[in-house]
Structures are given as C-alpha cells and as structure tokens.
Amino acid sequence: MKVLYFTGTGNCLSVAKRFDAELLSIPQMIKNNIYEIEDDVVGIVYPVYAISIPDIVRKYLSQCKIKANYVFVIATYGFTDCGALHEMKKLLEANGNKADYYASLLMVDNYLPFFDIETQMAKLKEKNIENNLNKIVEEVNARTTKEEICSWFNKIASSIGYSVVKQIEKYTPKMFYVNNKCICCGICKKVCPVSNITQEEKDKPIFGNNCESCLACIHNCSKNAIHIKTQRSEKRFRNSNVSLNEIIESNNIKFNN
C-alpha cells in the first residue's frame, strides 16, 4: 500500500500514518519528479482548503497516473468538507484515474483568519476524531467501496468558493509579519511546501507571492514570531501525533519556478 499526502500542520500526516503503508509526501513527489504511483492499494489524504483542494495537490494529481486495484480518498476538514470530495473525483477522472472509496474526517481547523485555536481544541471531544478515523481505517482495510456523495449546492459552492478564495489569497503574503521574537532559525523556510520563504543568515524571513496558505510557517514557528494580520488566535497548532521533523521532512523542498 502507498499513501499520498499533503500536510502543513500534521493532520493529514497523522491520518496517513494510521495505515500500514509507504507514505509519499506530495511535495517530495514533485521534487523527485515522480508522477506514476503503482501498488495494490493507493490512498490520497489531503486537507480541505477553500472548501476544495489545495493547489499543490490539484497540480500534482492533474499529472499523476495511479495504477492500483483499490484507491481510497480521505479529505480532512475543520468546518465543512462541502464539495471537496466531488472536486477530487472530477480531478482524478479528468486524468484517467478513479477512486473506489471516499471519506471525509472532521479534525481541528487551524486556518487562523477564520478560526480560534483554543475554541477548536475545546471541541476535540465532540469531533470524535479517533472513533471516526478508526471506522475509516477499518473500511479501507476491508476494501469497502464508498461513493462520493455531494449535493448540487455543495458542488456549486466549492466550485465558486474556490475561485473567490484563490483571488483573495493573492494578498495573503502581504498579511504576514514577523515580530522581534524571531531568532532566524529557518524553521519557517524548511516547512514551506512551495519554497515561498527566503531567509538570509541572521535575517528575518521574507514571504514571496507563491503562498499555499497552509500556514505551516506560522503554526510551526518555535517562538510564535510569525503572525497574520487577520488572525483570530495567538495560539498555534500542530497535530500531537506528528513531530516538527516530520513536517520538515515532508515539505522541505526546492521548486524550480
């Protein structure tokens, strides 16, 4: 079994780790120019961004060829998955791929412009993450078939919402700022999945215009030195089952743009 995943704060990696599989980071697959995935079982685990699919996942899967007897898809979300599974189905089929199983998993939403982390953490018990994840793992291991189900409203909402949010996100890099707590350690640069951060020795990081809006730089900063002007929380989040080194290993890449 192989599982493709993309993660900024560890939620999707924590899900991927629950399977007895070879874990394949999508940013690392891009780095190594690997666009053919073959195994008996292949999984795709991705976070819902802008009620749709992250750009890096979208771009990779639009080129990747998957050959497997069973393919499963898991979308993690914190507020609504809306039509994100339907968008994934369209994306896969447009490139000649298909999935046999679709599921979404409610987790902690850490998109700071919209959500307060302390409030999210207080809701952990009612999110019932562990039980819901166990059910998904059991169904996948049993090779259960499960169709993507989406209302027409959610299909339209994800299509329109993604376009609108992506226009807004063009201004996201301009919203970042770094305070005097910064020790110029370079962690933010290492966790960025699209090499959008540059930093000279002993200088504060500089944010480019190729932001994925994953906020990995903010949440993984050891000194809480990076902020976004519209943030609703000072608290930061990284999934407790995932280490900083795992995030760095997953996302520490260099794109040739």
Which residue would you say has higher pLDDT here, 150 or 127? 127
Neighbouring residues of 201: CB distance < 8 A, sequence distance ≥ 6: 184
226 lies in the same domain as 160: no
Is residue 257 domain-resident?
no
Co-location of 189 and 229 in the same domain: yes
Question: Is the domain of 11 the same as that of 50?
Answer: yes
Indicate if 132 and 49 belong to the same structural domain: yes
Domain count of the fold of the chain: 2
Q: How far apart are CA 204 and CA 125, in angstroms?
A: 38
Each residue of 147-164: b (16+ CB within 10 Å) or e?
ebebeeebeebbbebbee
Q: Which of 166, 185, 218 is the last residue of a domain?
A: 166
Assign residue 184 the CATH number of its domain.
3.30.70.20
pLDDT tens-place string over residues 202-248: 889 999 988 888 999 999 999 999 999 889 999 999 999 999 999 99
- 204 & 162 share domain: no
Q: Of 31, 45, 60, 33, which Cα lies nearest the Cα of 3?
A: 45
Note down the domain range covering 119: 2-166
**Above 60 in pLDDT, residue 14?**
yes
Same domain for 24 and 122, yes or no, is yes
Decide which of 105, 134, 166 is a domain's last residue. 166
Question: What's 67's DSSP letter?
Answer: E
* Residue 256 pLDDT greater than 50, yes or no: no
pLDDT tens-place string over residues 146-176 = 998 878 788 787 777 777 766 766 666 678 9
Output 202 or 65, whichever has higher pLDDT.
Answer: 65
In a shared domain, residues 82 and 176: no
